[in-house]
Structure 1
Amino acid sequence: MTEQRSFRPGRIISRRALLAGAAAGVLATPLLSRTAFAAGKVIRISTPGSAEEWQSKGLVKFKEALDRDAPGMFDVQIHFNGTLFGQGTEVEAMQRGNLEVGMISPQDIAVLIPEYSIFTTGYLMRDAAHLDAVYDGDIGAEYKARVAKDIGLHIVKSQYLGSRQVMLREPKDVKTPDDLKGLKLRMPGSEAWQFLGNALGGNATPLAFEEIYLALQTGTIDGLENPLTDIISSKFYEVAKQIVLTNHQVSNTFFAMPVAFWDSLTPEEQAAVLAAEIEAKKFNDENVLAGEKDAAAFLESKGVTVSTPDVDAFRAKVLGAFENSDFAKSWPAGLLDRIKAA
């Protein structure tokens, strides 16, 4: 998956609104979607990522695992490149019962649960193991319960997306955030993502992931930030010429299902889905970690300049921006320290 996929502002629905409008929502759902949803067998997965990304390959692994271990139980249909639901519309699609699996980010959750913007903070997570310690532990249990209650989504597992770096269309001497001043840095559209882009020193510019390549090619944007493995799979090295190793966020994405769909499954079906996703997560995480080790050398072989800035300067700027922001005013007391200590 290309990134922690964050939706652009839209008609996203709270759990209360979902319950209040349940009858109307069912009537508004197309017949085919209602039939598939009620059957509890068809699993439609939407991702804006290409089939070449490790997360997308992990979705294929999920399908293969279900087909192997639970033959005939599910019909998994994977839609790449945002062809079923565009980036930013997956949460609402799941809430309305039109999609069984979406790959959503902490930034998506923060739009609907503002105090959980704490999980979008730059330089918060240390590595993939720290992500798992947070989301598989007590903090994660609280997080998932709140997401299920308020948003109506069941988080099956967190997956490692990669450590995020800045990529620039034209080479530039970048040591501190001030060196990115004025550069149009593509970010997903949500407030938390835009805040991160500005905290890095750039001029955060909202743009769907599917539009990045052309925007770099034409100079509509000056750069982006993404994990290295996704930069490679999307071939952004063809239209951008520098990687700045800011390591500004160790990112993840959630394999999520509508609570209503999850609850409609039998215990046997739930166990099969969980087992398949555990296998898919392992496949994804291991390959992303391995890919990160060789990514810089690969990019250099493609003519991309790889540079290391003053990471401490970036960390101080980004952390300071988040901790002194309006976001931080709603953060639960003590949660930041609990996350750091996980």
Structure 2
Amino acid sequence: MPFLTRRLALGLVAAATAILPALPASAQTKLKWAHVYETSEPFHTQSVWAAQEIAKRTNNRYQIDVYPASQLGKESDINQGLSLGTVDMIISGPSFAARSYPPIGIGYYPYIFRDSGHLLAFAKSDVFKELSAGYAEKTGNHMVALTYYGVRHSSTNKPFKTCAEMKGLKIRVPDAPAYLAMPRSCGANTSPIAFAEVYLALQNGTVDAQENPLTTIEAKKFFEVQKNIVLTGHIVDHLATIISKQLWAKLSDEDKKIFTDVAQEAAIRASGEIQAKEKELLETFKQKGLTITEVNKDEFKDAVMKSVTLESLGYRKADYDKIQALKSEGL
């Protein structure tokens, strides 16, 4: 090869080599993470932390943009988006996942969890791994973490202490079988009023009561139009972090572990924030002049188990028994 030709060839190789460091940026994978919660809530702030942490642990091979407050749709929309490929990751109540695989919704059966520590134990348990594996087999999507959302209690104009005293009570409840189970078992009249309209419905007497975690009662200012909180504690609510079938298939085993580890760390962080906030709120509500009433939860639980079977909701008794056997863990 002539000298000048050799120099030209070597120069081209050197130039190409100089360009190589810029290639990883163009190879970066951009992902969408969606949920319906506000930017001030731990479910969002910890999702943002997780997105940044995944980027850090994968040397910025993944850029995850988090879309809060239903920007990419309602919960039903983003769950569907996992299959359509319009979202890559979501945080959502497993009750929506249960529409595709009913057994995964067993955590919504009233009084199945004793407290937040029991839920945390479930999140780490073999029974959850079995249920999430069944969900993955059915949908291809992977449920990698559970976050504590809060214990659902009742706020009401007419205080009650027993299940029997709920008879005839007009209460707003989400229109889903597991949510309806406790009020209907106690003879209450349930109403599926849109969430955005609940405050006005309570204010004008369309309904006498509603049920939600203390954090929601504060955030939505229901305490302004309800002077009684009854600690029914009927559902220990929770959210799942779910990775889409398409994304999971593309991840290496190493990256699957990173995504899973980070999602679980974020869930623990958010869970701790919610638990701490709940403890503060009981005292806050008392200071605002609200009456806090405790009840015998066993009485409410017995009423549910007599009138709404596990099987009628698509749940399995064997899973229920395994969950009951779990010991609570501290957050």
TM-score (norm 2): 0.80
**Aligned equivalents of 1:88, 1:151: Cα separation in 2:** 15
What amino acid is aligned across from residue 278 of structure 2 in structure 1?
E
Q: What amino acid does structure 2 have at the position aligned with 1:236? A: F
> In structure 1, what residue type is equivalent to 2:162?
T
**Residue 334 in structure 1 maps to residue 318 in structure 2:** yes
Give the letter for the 1:266 counterpart. Answer: S
* Superposed displacement of residue 208, structure 1: 4.5
Q: What is residue 292 of structure 1 aligned with on the other side? A: 278
CA positional deviation for 1:146:
0.7
- Residues 129, 209 of structure 1: alpha-carbon distance in 2 compared, 3 angstrom cutoff: same
Q: 1:138 and 2:126 equivalent? A: yes
* Alpha-carbon distance change, 210 to 48 in structure 1, aligned in 2, over 3 angstroms: farther
- C-alpha displacement at 1:213, in angstroms? 3.6
Aligned Cα root-mean-square deviation (Å): 2.6
In 2, the alpha carbon distance for the partners of 1:87 and 1:232 equals: 22
Aligned counterpart, 1:24: none
Counterpart Cα distance in 2 of 1:333 and 1:180: 28
Does 2:117 correspond to 1:129?
yes
Q: 1:278 to 1:337 in 2, by over 3 A?
A: closer
What is the match of residue 189 of structure 2? 203
Q: Which residue is equivalent to 1:236?
A: 222
Say if 1:146 and 1:62 are closer, same or farther in 2 by CA, change over 3 A. same
Partner of residue 109, structure 1 = 97
Deviations 1:254-308 (CA, angstroms, capped at 9, x unpaired): 1112122222223343333223212211211111121222221112223332212
3-state SS of paired residue (1:112)? coil
Q: Name whichever of 286-295 and 223-232 sits farther off.
A: 223-232
Q: Secondary structure at the match of 1:334?
A: helix
Alignment of 1:38-187 (within 5 A): 41-70=29-58, 72-168=60-156, 170=157, 172-187=158-173
Taking only the aligned residue pairs, the percentage that are identical comes to 28
- 2: CA distance between counterparts of 1:62 and 1:208? 31
Larger Rg: 2
Q: Secondary structure at the match of 2:73?
A: coil
Runs of 5+ consecutive residues of structure 1 not aligned to the other structure: 1-38
Partner Cα separation in structure 1 for residue 46 and residue 187 of structure 2: 33
Determine helix, strand or coil for the equivalent of 1:63: helix
The amino acid across from 1:242 in the alignment is N
Mapped pair 1:260 → 2:266: no
Which residue of 2 is the match for residue 30 of structure 1?
Answer: none
Amino acid at match of 1:147: Y
Match of 1:302?
Answer: 288
2:259 counterpart residue number: 273
Per the alignment, in what secondary structure is the counterpart of residue 156 of structure 1? Answer: strand
In structure 2, distance between residues paired with 1:52 and 1:270? 28
Q: 1:61, 1:116 → 2: CA distance?
A: 27
Counterpart of 2:232 in structure 1 is: 246
SS in 2 for 1:123: coil
In the alignment, the residues of structure 2 paired with residue 289 and residue 105 of structure 1 have an alpha-carbon distance, to the nearest angstrom, of 18
Q: Return the match for 1:321 from 291, 307, 310.
A: 307
Following TM superposition, by how much is the alpha carbon of 1:162 offset from its aligned partner in structure 2, in angstroms?
Answer: 1.8
Residue pairs, 1:209-224, within 5 angstroms: 209-224=195-210
172-181 or 153-162, larger mean C-alpha shift? 172-181
Going from structure 1 to structure 2, the CA distance change for 1:173 and 1:128 (only over 3 Å counts) comes to: closer
* Residues 178/45 of structure 1: CA separation in 2 closer, same or farther (3 Å cut): farther
User: Is the contact made by 1:43 and 1:74 (CA closer than 8 Å) also made in structure 2?
Assistant: yes
Secondary structure (helix, strand or coil) at the match of 1:111 reads: coil
Q: Which amino acid aligns with 1:326?
A: S
Contact 1:242 / 1:304 at 8 angstroms: preserved in 2? yes
* Aligned partner of residue 83 in structure 1, secondary structure: coil
